Structure 1
C-alpha cells in the first residue's frame, strides 16, 4: 500500500465496517444536545442516531461545532512522525469552516515537518457524498495509487458527484436558515417536499419541489436513473435520518432500476441531521456532473 494515511471527518458518515476496511482515520465532530457536548464517531459510541432523532422529534434543538485547528494538528502529526504523508478529504468549505481550520493546521505542520506532506482536498460534498470520495480514494490507495494520484482523482471526480436529498419536515430547514418561516408553513400545509442538491461550489440548493413523501423519494430515483453513468461499476451510498423503511424503498428501487455494483446504506449522523431533522434521506453516486 502507498505510504500515506487518508483522513476525513465524521460528516462523511462512513460505516464502522467501511472505516475498518478502508483503513481511514475519521476525526469526530462535536454536536450539542441539551447541555451536553457529544462527539460524532462512526460507531455512534456516545449517542445512537435513533436516540438523537427521537430527541429532535421531542422538540430538542441541536447545534454543531467545527473541528478546531488543534484537533487537526493532533490528528495529522502522529502520522507525520511515523514517516507517512496525509491525504485529508474534508467537508465542503461552503458549509463549514472546518476545512479552513485544517489548512491552518497544515501550515503549522509544514514548518515542523518540511520533509512530509499533508495534501488537502475540499470535497465540496456532504455526508456520504464526501464518504463516497473517501471510499474511492482509499480503493485507489489500496491499488497502489500515489497520494498525488488519489488527490487528483478526488479533485476531478468531486464535480461528477451527484448528491440529492429530501426532507420530511420543512421546519428544520427553516430553523437552519435554509427556508423562510412563511415558505415552511405554506409548504407543510400543501404537503410540499423539497428535493435539494449540492452544487459545484458545495452549497445546498433547491433542485425541485414535489407533493408527497413517496413522490419525493421517486424524484431522487428518477434523477439518478437519468444521470448515473456506468452503474454496473458503481457503489451507491444512501443515508437516512431514522427513516429505515424509506431507505429500504430507495435501496430496492435503485437496485432494480439501475443495477449498481453495490449499494451501502447508513444513518445520517447528528452533524448534518441537526439541520435536516428526522426523516431526511439522501442518495449519492457518480454522474456526468452534479446537476
Structure 2
C-alpha cells in the first residue's frame, strides 16, 4: 500500500471507503451537557439529536489529539495525505500538524501532507477522494498536493439549516434573531469563505425556498461543473438531499452525485434537517 488518506470524523465517507485500508478516520469527541461520546463507528445520530434538542447547553466537539494522528501515520504507506475540518472551526488541523512533526522526528522516510480543507463534512470528502484518485493514477506526491490545493481553491461549500438552536446556543445568533427567524420560518443560506470561515449569502422563507436559493448559488458559482462531483450531506432528511440534487442537476451537468448522511460532528453543526453541499 503506497498511500494512505487520513481524515477527521467531520469527513463523511461513502460506505465502501470506510472498509478500504487506504482510508482511516480519526474521531473527534462530542459532548452535550453530561452526554459524551466519540464520533466513531458507534455514533447514533438519532440519540445524539435527541440529546441536542433536550439540552439547554450548546453541543461541543473536541479535536483529536496529536498522538491519535501520529498513530494513524504508522503504516506501510509511503505517501500520507491528511484532510481536516477547517482550522477556523476546529483545532483538528493544528493537532494533525503536531502529530506529523512527532512522527517525522522518529521516521523521516514518509511524505506526509496535512491539508486544512477550509471546509467541513463533504468538503473534506471531496478532497480525500480526489487524493486517492490521483494516487491511483500514478501521480507523484508533489503533483497530488498541487492538484489538491488547486481544487480546494475553487471548491464551494454551502449549507442551509432548518434548526437554528445550535447557532443560538453557541452565541452565533442572538435570541431575538433566532426567535424571529423561527417564527417567520426564515432559513439562512450559508457559505464557506476561502479561508474556511462561515458567512450568510442569503435567506429564504421556508425550507424549500432556502434550499432553492442555495441550489441557485451552486449553479451560479460552479466552475467546469461537468468535471465535478456534486456532494450533498444531509442530517436526517434524505428527501431534501434528493430535492437539492434535482434543483442543481436540472440546470447544470455534473460528473457524479454523492449523497450521504451526516456523522457526528456534521450532525452537531447541521442539526436535524440541515443540508450541506460542496462542488
TM-score (norm 2): 0.92
Q: 1:106 to 1:21 in 2, by over 3 A?
A: closer
1:27-42 equivalences in 2 (<5 Å):
27-33=26-32, 35-41=34-40
1:13-28 equivalences in 2 (<5 Å):
13-20=12-19, 23-28=22-27
Distance 2:244 2:20 in 1: 25
1:1-291 equivalences in 2 (<5 Å):
3-20=2-19, 23-33=22-32, 35-41=34-40, 45-59=41-55, 62-76=59-73, 78-79=74-75, 82=76, 84-285=78-279
Distance 2:45 2:142 in 1: 35
SS of 1:135's equivalent in the other structure is: helix
Distance 2:225 2:100 in 1: 37
- Contact 2:70-2:103 within 8 A present in 1 as well: yes
- Contact 2:32-2:52 within 8 A present in 1 as well: no
- Contact 1:93-1:122 within 8 A present in 2 as well: yes
Distance 1:70 1:137 in 2: 23
Distance 1:173 1:36 in 2: 19
CA displacement at 1:262 relative to structure 2: 1.2
C-alpha RMSD of the superposition: 2.0
Q: Which consecutive residues of structure 2, in runs of 5 or more, have no partner in the other structure?
A: none
Spell out, residue by residue over 1:214-258, the C-alpha distance to the aligned partner (whole angstroms, 9 max, x if none). Answer: 100101111112122232222110011111221121123333332
Distance 2:17 2:246 in 1: 21
CA displacement at 1:83 relative to structure 2: 5.7
- Contact 2:43-2:263 within 8 A present in 1 as well: no
TM-score (norm 1): 0.88
Distance 1:220 1:198 in 2: 12
**Following TM superposition, where does structure 1 have runs of at least 4 consecutive aligned residues deviating by more than 6 angstroms?**
none
Aligned to 1:288: none
Aligned residues between the structures: 278
Distance 1:218 1:207 in 2: 13
- Contact 1:166-1:281 within 8 A present in 2 as well: yes
Distance 1:83 1:158 in 2: 24
Structure that is richer in helix per residue: 1
SS of 1:258's equivalent in the other structure is: coil
- Contact 2:79-2:111 within 8 A present in 1 as well: yes
Q: Which consecutive residues of structure 1, in runs of 5 or more, have no partner in the other structure?
A: 286-291
- Contact 1:92-1:122 within 8 A present in 2 as well: yes
- Contact 2:154-2:223 within 8 A present in 1 as well: no
